[in-house]
Structure 1
Amino acid sequence: MKYLLPITTLVASALLATNVEARWQATPGHTWDYLLGAEESVIKASKQDVVTIDLEKAEKFVPYLHSRGQRAICYFSGGTTEHRAYDREAYQKSGLALGGNGDGWGNQWLDIRNKAKLQPLIRKRMQRARSYGCDAVEVDCLGIYHYRSDYTKEDSYVFAKWVAETAHQEGISIGLKNVAGISQRLEPYFDFAVVESCAESPNLCKLYTQFTDHNKAVFIVHYGNRGHKLSGSSLKNLIKEQGGHRFTCVISPHENLHNNSINYDCSTGSSASSSKLYFKKG
């Protein structure tokens, strides 16, 4: 006997398939530039395969990057307030800000357990990123449990999981930002990872090998102003912690991310050049 699926089910399935097919997958082996605080001239000077910029700059620079054969990851925070003109009022009216000590960058942590109020706000940012042509989003501040004892690791896991699911519903790729302690549980839901300063703690970088084992890129940045450099004991430690796992490794001169990143081979410290990835629509 044959059964006919309802038309709405067929349409929904078709839309889901289209979104999955449309998503870009960041695979290991490409170079990266981390430019959240960069001026226009620095963004335009980038020669790396993948460039991360703030969502505020996406409308202007994503078409430029694509015209040069580069991919664009667009950044925003999911777990804290941000001073973004287009949705500041909506965040203020939501009542989600927790008060107290913030994230150290002038932002307040949000009540990540209130999915009913927070998910629509994050979804709109993802829709904005998609409308600008961003290939992926990097959603920051997923690990509130590190900073507030009234939120648990499980709270952050549940939050991060539905953030990733929301991105996929909107047809856009998403990278896991930090949260090493739950990264292995979250890997199935994210398309790549963005990791800061993991070589500062023994074996922390290695928690992300599950991503590269599944052919998902892991973009790791260390900062020059924190003492990291490609020589001496610093280089030996970077190689020890990162080498042999197909990670993409860069050093940015400063945590303000105003300057182009230095790409290097994670296993040797030698300079790495663009793989000449070319972007094609469709």
Structure 2
Amino acid sequence: MKFNLSITALVASVLLATNVEARWQPTPGLTWDYLLGAKDDVVKASKQQVVTFDLEQAERLVPYVHSKGQKAICYFSGGTTEHRAYDREEYQKSGLALGGNGDDWGNQWLDIRNKAKLQPLIRKRMQRARSYGCDAVEVDCLGIYHYRSDYTKEDSYVFAKWVAETAHQEGISIGLKNVAGIAESLEPYFDFAVVESCAKGNTCKNYKNFTQHQKAVFIVHYGESFTLSGSSLNTLIEAQKGMHFTCVFSQNNKLHDNVTNYDCNSGSTISGKNKKYGRIRNKR
């Protein structure tokens, strides 16, 4: 019995090590395209090193993106129902949906405290992403405490932590999406960060420990609130300068079109691709 247990433990440790070594980690200095609402042809037209698009498009788009030498980050929501066709019935049967007003996109928040029911559903989405060849996942809606007073910041921290651990168990990298209030404490568990509109609340600095640990931070601001000129650009530069982020601008939050990459310190437009693509994560 002891021998069998030792063999089992050894196999488990080898598998875990293999998963860790196989993970890609984006490093600071990469260019990025954020295309959650874009059609396939827009994604295919991207010239940036890293491209983020919806998991529903991954099976057909990841091979194309890889053929161009780009990396693919695949998006889904972890904290809301999202109504995806392939697992809608499982989510409906789970009883996790909380009801009420939901998020701003017509989805209901999920009971993130119920790990026993929610983790298997999220794990299946991560397994699907990896089967399609996604290099990483972006899991949205981690910060339920911003929207529902019956859930705490600690609830979101615990949820986000096990979401990241689940991704790593499945051998895929994961980016922290927003949740500026707990970003610093979650940095050790995530491979990079994806941040929206952080100049609004002056929270961009909450992610500087990512780049200090050689993890990419992809920052996006939208045309509803900012422009890349005048005092608006000055506000962006002041919020982002000196922290080695990737800074991009999108005309609106629908994310239908290719974004503009610009220098976080000067506002000058960045075109084309650099030579760096990130590295393989071989230790934690």
TM-score when normalising by structure 2? 0.95
> Cα distance, 1:82 vs. partner?
1.1
Cα separation, 2, equivalents of 1:208 and 1:277: 21
- Which residue of structure 2 aligns with residue 159 of structure 1? 159
Aligned length: 277
Give the structure 2 partner of residue 218 of structure 1.
Answer: 217
Residue deviations 1:207-257 (CA, integer Å, cap 9, x gap): 100000000000000001x23111100110000000110000000111000
- Pick from 243, 246, 249 the counterpart of residue 245 of structure 1: 243
CA distance in 2, matches of 1:275, 1:5: 48
TM-superposed CA distance for 1:36, in Å, is: 0.5
1:43-65 Cα deviation digits (max 9, x unpaired): 11100000000000000000000
Query: What is the alpha-carbon distance in structure 2 between the residues aligned to residue 46 and residue 161 of structure 1?
Result: 32
User: Structure 1: which amino acid aligns with 2:115?
Assistant: K
Mapping of residues 1-282 of structure 1, within 5 Å: 6-202=6-202, 204-224=203-223, 226-273=224-271, 274-277=273-276
CA contact (8 A) 2:24 2:278 kept: no
The one-letter code matched in structure 2 to 1:267 is N
Alpha-carbon offset, residue 201 of structure 1: 1.4
**Equivalent position amino acid for 2:40 in 1:** E
CA contact (8 A) 1:28 1:212 kept: yes
Q: Are 1:192 and 1:211, in contact at CA under 8 Å, matched by a contact in 2?
A: yes
| Letter aligned with residue 147 of structure 1 | Y
Superposed displacement of residue 279, structure 1:
9.4
CA drift of 1:5 comes to 7.8
Unaligned runs of 5+ in 2: none
The root-mean-square deviation of aligned C-alpha atoms, in Å, is 1.6
Cα distance, 1:276 vs. partner?
3.9
Q: Return 5+ residue gaps in structure 1 as ranges.
A: none
Q: TM-score, normalised by structure 1?
A: 0.96
Output the CA distance in 2 between the equivalents of 1:40 and 1:264. 24
Could you say what secondary structure the match of 1:84 adopts? coil
Deviation at 1:4, TM superposition (A): 11
- Structure 1 residues 69 and 280, CA gap change in structure 2 (3 angstroms): farther
- Deviation at residue 118 of structure 1 after TM alignment: 0.1
Letter in 2 for 1:86: Y
Cα 1:64–1:279 shift into 2, 3 Å = farther
The alpha carbon displacement at 1:83 in A equals: 1.6
How far, CA to CA, are the matches of 1:104 and 1:9 in structure 2? 45
C-alpha distance in structure 2 between counterparts of 1:201 and 1:65, whole Å: 34
How much does 1:9 deviate? 1.1
One-letter code of the match for 2:198?
C
SS in 2 for 1:200: coil
Distance 1:39 1:268 in 2: 31
Q: Which amino acid aligns with 2:15?
A: L
**Aligned residues of 2:27 and 2:277 also touching (Cα < 8 A):** no
Counterpart secondary structure, 1:33: strand
Please state whether the residue corresponding to 1:75 is helix, strand or coil: strand
Change (3 A) 1:279 1:266: closer
Native 8 Å contact 1:70 1:279 kept in 2: no
CA distances 1:84-110 after superposition (whole Å, capped 9, x unpaired): 111000000000000001101010000
1:130-175: CA deviation from partner (whole Å, max 9, x where unpaired):
0000000000000000000000000000000000000000000000
Q: Percent identity at matched positions?
A: 78
